[in-house]
Structure 1
Amino acid sequence: MGTTRPASGRSQAPGPACWRVAGLDVQVRRSARRRTLALQVRGGVVTAYAPAGLPDATIRAFVEAKQTWLRQHLGEQRSRPAPPALGDGSPLAFLGETLILRVAPVTQGRREGDVLLVPAGDVGAHVETWTRRAVLPTYAALVEDYAARLGARERLRGVKVGTARSRWGSCTAAGDVRLHWLLSRAPLEVLHYVALHEAAHLLELNHSPRYWAHVARVMPEYRRWHQWLRDHGEELGVRGDG
């Protein structure tokens, strides 16, 4: 999904071209499936998504027309404070709850009530290891439920926990779904949205109107959570939207 892009066995699209437009560095990604021109600012990077046959001049003119908006968003992202490092006593969002992190003489992460005990050392790595293990049953149950509600349960082969830096989830043509471990820190509604988003790819490996109709049938308010990922997803550590 970065969006929650589906992965398939098809050949990969060419890498982005790098342009200098109106004093801005812009990555240009073209796709034969795209019908509209769009701009995105993520991680201090401007990306233009364009239809494959759109003239370069049209893309450049669009970027120039939006340069004030682009500079504003770049400035906002650069001025955001970095998230505080995890340490003893830190609060930790986890599947709709708030746990308290404690460094303790343990060999691996372990939850005791509302406390997560982790070994000393690289606390962030210990938290990630524990989280990836702890979220899998919940992730699997969610995807299985949404796949069943969509009538696609038989197409689901398995659910795994993902770690990609630029997508919240993925679905392969073979029926393998991944959800990012950091979704455990998002509102539960966002986790549900991404689980549904990927389950719907079991029916449509694209983002066509038919695909979005499947999503809307199960979650009419999905746009709200899609937008949440666009607005806040990078704060959790993934440069992708919903």
Structure 2
Amino acid sequence: MKKTELLGEDIEYTVRRSSKATIPRVDVSMDGVRAVIPEGSDKDPEGLLQEKAIQVIKSKKKFDRYREEIPKRKFQEGEFFPYLGEEHNVAVSSEHSDRKVEGEKLILPADEVKDTSIKRELEKLYREKAREIIEEILERYEDLRIEYKRIKLKNQKTRWASCSSRQNLNFNWRIAMAPKDIIEYVVVHELVHLEESNHSKRFWTKVSSILPDYKERAKWLKDHSPKLVFSEEDYTSSSW
């Protein structure tokens, strides 16, 4: 572990030499700060951090805040997980053969839990519900006449959704943890991206015409993302 001072703050960081990296970069994550230097490069890691000081400090503070806000959940019966913005209690039942949401409970079938785990079955439930909700929202926006090919639920680490050049819509299955109006914003955002690939003025004008309050929804998602965490594997990183 190395140390340096950035904008008056003492920062600990590590250095990794990478054969895959094409340019020097700085990764900031829940695990800390890391300078990634391509093999054969004579770039000074500390000098790189100094160049990226503002971004590094900003992201480090963000992840420090995330670390404080992230719920310490356990994958066991009786634990609480968010679903559509509300806390739900995990229950394992031998009376149900299907994963389901019932009242304020996330019900998992005992036989499936025995064969896999509560964590795995809970993820399956979120995936199933996320698809149902997303498909329902897409049906409501059929009048936009924006064509897409497939809906994919992915284990994305750094984003809530994306779209591909093949006109596929990709969604992070964890979005089922967010309120429905937030999921709607994410769906609309990606639909519009199928017509406008970047975040141009025209893109945001289109989003605004569909969801006039999109800024409030986007802010909610940004502010509450630390609470929409399934497990430690969800921790994301930022790079420059």
TM-score category of the 2 structures, normalised to the smaller one:
0.5 to 0.7
Give the superposed CA RMSD.
3.8
Aligned match of 1:43: 30
Greater Cα offset, 180-189 or 110-119: 110-119
- Residue 75 to residue 103, structure 1, CA distance change in 2 (3 Å): same
Deviation at 1:169, TM superposition (A): 0.7
Letter paired with 2:199: H
Deviation of 1:86 (Å): 3.5
In the aligned structure 1, how far is the partner of 2:90 from the partner of 2:179? 19
Rounded to whole Å, the distance in 2 between the matches of 1:144 and 1:90 is 33
Pick from 101, 106, 119 the counterpart of residue 90 of structure 2: 101
CA-CA distance at 1:80 after TM superposition: 4.1
| Superposition deviation, residue 144 in structure 1 | 3.8
CA distance in 2, matches of 1:165, 1:96: 20
Q: Post-superposition shift, 1:200?
A: 0.6
Give TM-score scaled by structure 1 length. 0.65
After TM superposition, list the pairs within 5 Å mapping 1:9-88 onto structure 2: 22=6, 23=11, 25=13, 43=30, 63-64=52-53, 72-80=61-69, 82-88=71-77
Q: Is the 8 A contact 1:44 1:77 kept in 2?
A: no
State yes or no: 1:218 paired with 2:210. Answer: yes
Distance, in Å, in 1 between the alignment partners of 2:69 and 2:83 is 23
Conserved? CA contact 1:83–1:235, under 8 Å: no
Displacement, 1:101?
A: 1.9
Q: Which residue of structure 2 lines up, in the alignment, with residue 201 of structure 1?
A: 193
* More RCO (CA 8 Å, sep 6+): 1
Contact 1:167–1:240, Cα closer than 8 Å, also in 2:
no
Equivalent residues of 2:30, 2:237 under 8 A apart: no
User: Any conservation in 1 of the 2:82–2:178 contact (CA below 8 Å)?
Assistant: yes
Gaps in structure 2 of 5+ consecutive residues: 16-25, 35-47
Aligned pairs (5 A) from 1:72-221: 72-80=61-69, 82-96=71-85, 98-105=87-94, 108-118=98-108, 119=110, 120-121=113-114, 122-146=117-141, 148-149=143-144, 151-152=145-146, 155-221=147-213
Percent of aligned pairs sharing the same letter: 22
Give the letter for the 2:175 counterpart.
L
The residue matched to 1:89 in structure 2 has which SS?
A: coil
* Residue number in structure 2 paired with 1:17: none
Q: Summarize the Cα distance change of 1:196–1:26 in structure 2 as closer, same or farther, 3 Å threshold.
A: farther
Matches of 2:14 and 2:201 in 1, distance apart? Answer: 28
Inter-CA distance 240–178: structure 2 relative to 1 (3 Å threshold): farther
Cα offset, 1:240, TM superposition? 8.1
How far the C-alpha of 1:211 sits from its partner, in A, is 1.4
Residue 96 of structure 1 and its aligned partner are, at CA, apart by 4.9
Cα distance in 2 for residues equivalent to 1:126 and 1:192:
25
Residues 158 and 175, structure 1, Cα contact 8 Å, conserved in 2:
yes
List per-residue Cα deviations over 1:136-186 (Å, max 9, x = no partner): 12211213433533x42xx22222322211111111122211222211111
- Residue 91 of structure 1 deviates from its aligned partner by 3.4
How many corresponding residue pairs? 202
- Distance, in Å, in 2 between the alignment partners of 1:74 and 1:112 is 34
Larger Rg: 2
Separation (CA, whole Å) in 2 of partners of 1:78 and 1:99:
22
Give the whole-Å Cα distance in 1 for the aligned partners of 2:215 and 2:237.
15
Contact 1:146/1:195, CA 8 A, preserved across alignment = no
Change (3 A) 1:84 1:147: same
Mark the CA change 1:101 to 1:74 in structure 2 (over 3 Å): closer, same or farther.
closer
Paired position in structure 1 for 2:224: 232
TM-score, normalised via structure 2 length:
0.66
